[in-house]
Amino acid sequence: MIPLPLDELRGLGELDGDGDATGLTIDSRTAGPGDLFVAVRGGRAFVGAARAQGAATLVPDGEHAALAQ
């Protein structure tokens, strides 16, 4: 994956993390350093686990909630 600056995602929802994401996952069990965990519907409960494993996290909100479906 081409590194994605997390700053470009600010405004899409609750973003926790900085730097660049080099991986993307919706499964907190596979999340790790360099990954962006996107919480799909019901995934908010797993944000803490993803952060504990070193991943940045995004919980889409408002008009961007469709990202989580």
Tens place of pLDDT for every residue, the chain, 69 residues? 799 999 999 989 999 999 999 999 999 999 999 999 999 888 999 999 999 999 999 998 866 566 555
Task: Give the angle 23-18-28 at the CA atoms, nearest 5°.
Answer: 45
Q: For residue 66, what pLDDT is reported?
A: 61
Nearest to 56 by CA among 1, 3, 18, 7: 18
Output the six-digit token pair for 31.
């999340």
Quote the CA–CA distance of 44 and 47 in Å, as a whole number.
5
- Our count of domains for the chain comes to 1
Q: For residue 42, what pLDDT is reported?
A: 87
Give me the CATH number covering residue 52. Answer: 3.40.1390.10
Range of the domain at 57: 4-68
